Structure 1
Amino acid sequence: MASTISVEFCGEWYRVAEGEELTIGREADLNVDDDNPFLHRRFLTIVQVESMWWLVNIGSRLSATITDGTGSMQAWLAPGARIPLVFDETKVVFTAGPTTYDLSVHAESPDFERVTHPDDPVGETTVGSVQLTASQKLLILALAEPMLVREGSGMSSVPTSAQAAQRLGWPLTKFNRKLDNVCDKLDRLGVRGLRGGPGKLASNRRARLVEHAVFSRLVSSEDLPLLDQSQDEDDE
């Protein structure tokens, strides 16, 4: 028997009983934002196929980042793709225009159980040996600050490059150079969505960088005090 699925967004809970379907979008069962024209009317759907629940991208342009809630597993859900909802909690984050949305999907009786070993904590060692310089981490924090400050599911806006550079006290040219560098580094490590084509970084790379960094635990709310410390050195 398939488990019941519940979705939490902005403190509101939506229950999907066996045999039912839940659509997510601008004009859907779960209406995340009816004022954002960049968001598909129906972007995602949660549907049951036999005994398995699936999250399906039914949009044509947008993609979503999916994690298991701890950051140890991350997937890229492109248009037309689907992924089974097998964990007790699945985090979903996506960006439409200037706004990033995140919600959580909870399974009553998950098919898989996460086992955490005390000697293998989720964090920097788990996400694939990503070595960030101090300035790269500051850059990511400046972009991710609205999402990290908010905590919990909901919506936030990713700062523009100019806003993030001002937050750090950097010239815009320095910020853009370091943004290119960190996106190149993560792209080489296999993080999808940071490159728009051969030799070209994606135009929405700031939002994708935030999605990956927050949900893979590259940065957390505990790192935010670093933004208020003076960081004048250039370590690249």
Structure 2
Amino acid sequence: MSVATEGTAAPLTVEYCGELYRVEPDAEFGIGREAELTIDDNPYLHRRFLTVSRDFGMWWLSNVGTLLTATVTDATGTMQAWLAPGAKLPIVFQTMHVMFSAGATTYDFTITSDEDYFDTTVKVDSSGGSTTVLPVTLTTSQRQLIVALAEGVLTQAVPGRGTIPTSAEAAERLGWSMTTFNRKLDNVCDKLDKLGVAGLRGGRGKLATNRRARLVEYAVTTRLVGVEDLPLLEGGAARLDQAADPVDGGADD
């Protein structure tokens, strides 16, 4: 692995809502409500939330905000990180996807670079088996729940900005009671938390207040759900799969 020097560093390109922004090595590029890349006038968004800069011979993505977090993945979704306030990550992929939520709105943009330190291409073994990111097994109703929450992000005409429904709106979309929806949301978050997915728990025995947004970010960026799952919401109220969820309130409910 070779690291380019400051003098030979190539600029990065940031793409948001179809617009391209060139990031030069000698300047810090801010992303937020009032920055070089002005995302939105959303009052829940920091004026300057993320920055892209060059340091120690590498490009870095830094979270300079105090409240919001961002989900970062490579182009394939096989590598995923949660960028908390004060954290920074080296940009080591030719393509990096960044997704974050502010209030009820989820935003995403892409960073591309000529430098590529790691190859994250998913390998398929000679026996024809496939490689998965995480051993996540979802019941039909769990997948329906995630798709209902991610529908606004998955159906964007131009990637960049989507909305996440409230629990009440998602429950109505599915034709479920709030009790059923909240119980299944608890179980999905608990399942992913046990697999090491950060941001779904607010502490010991506590649920994170923004878990719906974090769940959508993780599920979309890691390809846990996609546009191919949208038909699960068709035909009116989504029926609970009793075969997949035989016990109401079970651990995998």
**Structure 1 length-normalised TM:** 0.93
The 3 A distance-change label for structure 1 pair 180 and 116 is: closer
CA offset digits 1:104-146 (Å, max 9, x no partner): 10012323333342449xxx95221101111000000000001
Do the aligned partners of 1:54 and 1:83 also contact (CA within 8 Å) in 2?
yes
Is 1:29 aligned to 2:74, yes or no? no
Q: Could you tell me which residue of structure 2 aligns to residue 58 of structure 1?
A: 64
Structure-2 separation of matches of 1:149 and 1:65? 19
Unaligned runs of 5+ in 2: 1-7, 246-252
Aligned to 1:150, what secondary structure does the other structure show? Answer: coil
Do the aligned partners of 2:122 and 2:131 also contact (CA within 8 Å) in 1?
no
The 3 A distance-change label for structure 1 pair 125 and 135 is: farther
CA offset digits 1:4-32 (Å, max 9, x no partner): 21000000110012222210000000000
Do the aligned partners of 2:124 and 2:131 also contact (CA within 8 Å) in 1?
no
Do the aligned partners of 2:155 and 2:227 also contact (CA within 8 Å) in 1?
yes
Give matches, 1:131-170, under 5 Å: 131-150=137-156, 152-170=158-176
Is 1:18 aligned to 2:25, yes or no? yes
Do the aligned partners of 1:98 and 1:157 also contact (CA within 8 Å) in 2?
yes
Aligned to 2:65, what secondary structure does the other structure show? Answer: coil
Q: Could you tell me which residue of structure 2 aligns to residue 8 of structure 1?
A: 15
Give matches, 1:140-219, under 5 Å: 140-150=146-156, 152-219=158-225
The residue type paired with residue 231 of structure 1 is R
Aligned to 1:80, what secondary structure does the other structure show? Answer: coil
Q: Could you tell me which residue of structure 2 aligns to residue 231 of structure 1?
A: 239
Larger radius of gyration: 2
Structure-1 separation of matches of 2:139 and 2:222? 17
> % of aligned pairs identical?
58
The 3 A distance-change label for structure 1 pair 112 and 151 is: farther
Match of 2:227 among 203, 221, 224: 221
The residue type paired with residue 23 of structure 1 is G
Aligned to 1:18, what secondary structure does the other structure show? Answer: coil
Do the aligned partners of 2:25 and 2:53 also contact (CA within 8 Å) in 1?
no
**Structure 2 length-normalised TM:** 0.87
Q: Could you tell me which residue of structure 2 aligns to residue 72 of structure 1?
A: 78
Q: Could you tell me which residue of structure 2 aligns to residue 111 of structure 1?
A: 117
The 3 A distance-change label for structure 1 pair 93 and 151 is: farther
Aligned to 2:107, what secondary structure does the other structure show? Answer: strand
Unaligned runs of 5+ in 1: none
Structure-1 separation of matches of 2:12 and 2:207? 37
Cα offset, 1:152, TM superposition: 5.0
Structure-2 separation of matches of 1:105 and 1:192? 23
Structure-2 separation of matches of 1:125 and 1:164? 31
The 3 A distance-change label for structure 1 pair 181 and 76 is: same
Do the aligned partners of 1:8 and 1:103 also contact (CA within 8 Å) in 2?
yes
Count of aligned positions: 232
Match of 2:87 among 76, 81, 86: 81
CA offset digits 1:84-109 (Å, max 9, x no partner): 11101101011111111111100123
Q: Could you tell me which residue of structure 1 aligns to residue 136 of structure 2?
A: 130
The residue type paired with residue 26 of structure 2 is G
